[in-house]
Amino acid sequence: MAFKAFGIISSADNTVHVEGLHDYRPIGAFSFLGRFRVIDFPMSNMSNSDIDRVQVYVRSRPRSIAEHVGSGRHYNINSKRGRVQLLFSENSSSRSIYNNDINAYKENLDIIQRMHQEYVIIAPSYMVYKQDYRILLDTHISSGADITLLYQKVDNARDYFKNCHAITLNKQKGVESIEKNMGTANNKNIFMETYVMKKDTFVQLVKDASWTSSIYTLADIVNIKCKDMDVRAVQHKGYFATITSLEDYYNASMELLDYEVASDLFRPNWPIYTRTTDSCPTQYYETADVKGSFVSNGCQIEGSIENSVIGRSVVVKPGAVIKNSIVMAYATIEEGVHIENAVVDKWAHIIHAKEIKGEPDHPQYIKRQDTL
Amino acid sequence: MAQNEMLAMILAGGRGSRLKDLTTKVAKPAVFYGGKYRIIDFPLSNCANSDIDVVGVLTQYESVLLNSYVAQDGRWGLDSKDSGVYVLTPREKADEGLDVYRGTADAISQNIDFIDTYDPEYLLILSGDHIYKMNYAQMLDYHKQMKADATIAVRPVPLKEASRFGIMNTDGHGKIVEFEEKPANPKSNLASMGIYIFSWKLLRKMLVEDMKNPNSSHDFGKDIIPRMLGENRGLFAYEFKGYWKDVGTIDSLWEANMDLLDPKNPLNLNDPSWLIYTEDVSTLPAYIGKEAKINKAYITQGVRVEGSVTNSVLFTGAVVEKGAQVIDSVLMPGVVVEEGAVLTRALVAEDVRVGQNVKIGSKDSEGIELVAKNVKGGTK
């Protein structure tokens, strides 16, 4: 079936910076729940929704995203009829205020205009949720709206959803405004940075935004257009996480350690695809003690793990204790090391620091390839 | 296309009837092994890792699953422009009415046209039902170095067991002087592994002649190799010392899985320079529940353990519910062990459900219990 929409996977705003992890890769390439990367979720949503033309926007450090997304074949996207394009914004540095989504779209506007599909679905590479975009598109078309947004009601917006937008709605689910979540209240409608509209509307918004201000984002221009365009919102229910700060990232993983929550996100009829690394199963030794955790393949586990997410090929030596933590691929935790409330980046080797302890609301971050 | 120096042909027609219910629906090469693999992943990955680009897989029994499995050549990375894995089924010939290959050599003979399209210098012949890691490129180097007509991979077996195998007697410099199938009084302990490299030009000629010979059983071991020896051709034994298993029975399949529980096992599937590739699955990582107990186990992604697992191998999607115990056992993909069930020394086939409080097997049972059908649970 030739689907009516093409997909755009957007890159996070230049005001978003996730402590530590973000220094090495864009958020889409962050490891998530051991064997996934954050971008696997929007990519799988697109693929499962029969969208086989997807543009992935990459703002900086493209290596990890380019390697991971590749041809898109592992996302079940055929390579002739379908296509995954990686598009870069090359005209400004990653931290520049000009390096935002509108400028990235403007640089690639000819490519966008050449797409055959009538509609575009834009989803962020830095949020995790499950959504059938076919349903969203049907809702959008039958409502006659100009733009349809996706949002979720949350009750913890003071502490989480940092750097995200919140929307205000009128009684008819019409969007009145889109503004940054400043943590002023717990109950908010968090905007999932997901848009459905006609391609022509999108192109016009990109042009309007850049005429109005060089630093306007797509959310900024839609906020302004709320007054004279029909902008509506659809409520999403189920697991939703934003990866826009270290705390949000950590919390997103900890929530999924409840198997019921995880099985809501991972349904057999809605597979989450990723690139395989062909690692072998994990070896649990006689001394291993593992509880309440997700463990990826290729690990060697001799120590204790509780309530944690363990990435691929992690080595946990006897006597090591990992609690309430995220340990990414290829890290080695040596004998007698105690890690609690921490995010340990890839290839880290922890030998000498016997105690690494963060706070539940502020995890300790250990750098990539660091030896401690 | 660029010439392929060596083409591989995998004989995957083995029925594996001693594997009982595990092979009623699938051919032996498609049987699961090692948590996430199928046996045929080993020769296919070995080919990919040995820089062999084109592999023909010869199937015959119950091969629908094997055919569709093997057709996904991307799994083993054999997906470049000139690479591929091709399933070759027996050609039905109007004048014969035979729909199966008559012997191992016949399987190759019937596909001479396929091999000719690649015009290889050498042909590698493998079995699809052995578990081992081997660099065929090194074997080819040896073949060239010896200026051999054929090279046969052999492995040393204990002399007292040698009468169970096809034994190669050599002149002490690797040249094979005699081949004895299951000798009563073995003169050597070098057993054939069913892995051959032939110089294709010579083999092609011999196969064409063999096809016309009404007295031939069209088998490499019974006809081609003896004839080559009779003609005093250069046949050399290539000794392989690594881990190698032919899992012919339930007990040996169980045992081969158990071998993986030793972190220092010689197969070492964790070697990043020689990975074994397989089907990719979209599952969560393994989930180990809050009350779970794991003591020595080999567990792959998609598994969920809420109960206790001791000295066992758990395949993709297997579930051990609360209060269930899995001891010295192998759970194949999708197996569910319900609450309170206890499995000891068992091998549970794909997608089987073991009901609540069911007890199967015992610590001192001699053989391994094969559980191939759902077992209804009792009440508490």
The answer to whether B230 faces chain A, any CB pair under 8 Å, is no
- What the block records as the tokens of A257 is 């350690």
CATH number for position A248: 3.90.550.10
A266 and B34: CB-CB below 8 Å? no
Q: Please give the torsion angle defined by the CA atoms of residues B204, B209, B212 and B213, in that order, rounded to the nearest 10 degrees.
A: -130
Distances (CA, A) of A196 to A147, A153, A340, B341: 6, 19, 41, 50
Task: Identify whether A229 is part of a domain.
Answer: yes
Average pLDDT for residues B193-215, to the nearest whole number? Answer: 94
Residues of A in contact with B290 (CB under 8 A): 291-292
Task: Identify whether A277 is part of a domain.
Answer: no
Higher pLDDT, B191 or A3: B191
Task: Verify that A73 and A168 share a domain, yes or no.
Answer: yes
B32 and B297 Cβ atoms separated by less than 8 Å: no
- Whether pLDDT at B3 is above 70: no
Task: Verify that A81 and A109 share a domain, yes or no.
Answer: yes
Distances (CA, A) of A265 to A75, A151, B125, B361: 17, 17, 46, 37
Distances (CA, A) of A82 to A52, A229, B91, B102, B241: 5, 32, 36, 44, 47
Domain total for chain A?
2
Average pLDDT for residues B69-81, to the nearest whole number? Answer: 79
Task: Verify that A98 and A220 share a domain, yes or no.
Answer: yes
B168 and B187 Cβ atoms separated by less than 8 Å: no
pLDDT grade, residue B337 (50/70/90)? very high
- Whether pLDDT at B201 is above 90: yes
Unique residue bearing structure tokens 């968090």: A190
Task: Identify whether A273 is part of a domain.
Answer: no
The pLDDT of residue B20 is: 75
- Whether pLDDT at B257 is above 50: yes
B270 and A292: CB-CB below 8 Å? no
Give the highest mean pLDDT range of A58-62, B61-65, B154-158.
Answer: B154-158
Residue of B32, B36, B267, B282 best to disrupt the A interface, most CBs of A under 10 A? B282
A5 and A118 Cβ atoms separated by less than 8 Å: yes
Task: Identify whether A141 is part of a domain.
Answer: yes
Task: Verify that A208 and A310 share a domain, yes or no.
Answer: no
Distance to chain B for A33, nearest Cα, Å? 8
Q: Which of A265, A292, A313 is the last residue of a domain?
A: A265
CA–CA dist A335, A327 (Å, integer):
16
The answer to whether A184 faces chain B, any CB pair under 8 Å, is no
Task: Verify that A37 and A97 share a domain, yes or no.
Answer: yes
Task: Verify that A261 and A288 share a domain, yes or no.
Answer: no
Task: Verify that A215 and A337 share a domain, yes or no.
Answer: no
* Residue-wise pLDDT tens digits, A304-359: 999 999 999 999 999 999 999 999 999 999 999 999 999 999 999 999 888 999 99
Q: Which of A237, A265, A293 is the last residue of a domain?
A: A265
Q: Chain A residue with minimal CA distance to B275?
A: A278
Of the partner residues B290, B294, B301, the one whose CB lies closest to the CB of residue A284 = B294
Task: Identify whether A359 is part of a domain.
Answer: yes
Residues of A in contact with B326 (CB under 8 A): none
A280 and B276: CB-CB below 8 Å? yes
Q: Is B60 left (phi over 0), alpha (psi -120 to 50) or beta?
A: alpha
Distance to chain B for A36, nearest Cα, Å? 9
- Whether pLDDT at B247 is above 60: yes
Q: Which of A212, A233, A265 is the last residue of a domain?
A: A265
Task: Verify that A162 and A308 share a domain, yes or no.
Answer: no
Distances (CA, A) of A24 to A65, A114, A124, B165: 11, 33, 19, 56
Contacts 24+ apart (CB under 8 A), B287-291: B287/A259, B287/A262, B287/A293, B287/A294, B287/A295, B288/A290, B288/A291, B288/A292, B288/A293, B288/A294, B288/A295, B288/A305, B289/A259, B289/A291, B289/A292, B289/B322, B290/A291, B290/A292, B291/A291, B291/B322
CA–CA dist B269, B271 (Å, integer):
6
The pLDDT of residue B177 is: 93
Name the pTM for this structure. 0.93
The answer to whether B320 faces chain A, any CB pair under 8 Å, is no
Distance to chain B for A129, nearest Cα, Å? 15
The pLDDT of residue B379 is: 57
The answer to whether B265 faces chain A, any CB pair under 8 Å, is no
A259 and B289: CB-CB below 8 Å? yes
Task: Verify that A125 and A192 share a domain, yes or no.
Answer: yes
pLDDT grade, residue B99 (50/70/90)? very low
pLDDT grade, residue B349 (50/70/90)? very high
Residues of B in contact with A309 (CB under 8 A): 285
Q: What are residue B124's DSSP bridge partners?
A: B8, B197
CA–CA dist B207, B228 (Å, integer):
11
Task: Verify that A175 and A320 share a domain, yes or no.
Answer: no
Task: Identify whether A253 is part of a domain.
Answer: yes
**Domain containing residue A307:** 283-366
CATH number for position A288: 2.160.10.10
- Whether pLDDT at B12 is above 90: no
Q: How many A×B Cβ pairs under 8 Å?
A: 103
Task: Identify whether A272 is part of a domain.
Answer: no
- Whether pLDDT at B19 is above 90: no
| Average pLDDT for chain B | 90
Task: Identify whether A110 is part of a domain.
Answer: yes
The answer to whether B80 faces chain A, any CB pair under 8 Å, is no
Closest CA to A38 of A238, A217, A241: A241
The pLDDT of residue B93 is: 54
A281 and B278: CB-CB below 8 Å? no
Distance to chain A for B49, nearest Cα, Å? 13
- Whether pLDDT at B97 is above 70: no
Distance to chain B for A255, nearest Cα, Å? 14
Task: Verify that A188 and A327 share a domain, yes or no.
Answer: no
Unique residue bearing structure tokens 């993909």: B333
The answer to whether A273 faces chain B, any CB pair under 8 Å, is yes
Task: Verify that A45 and A115 share a domain, yes or no.
Answer: yes
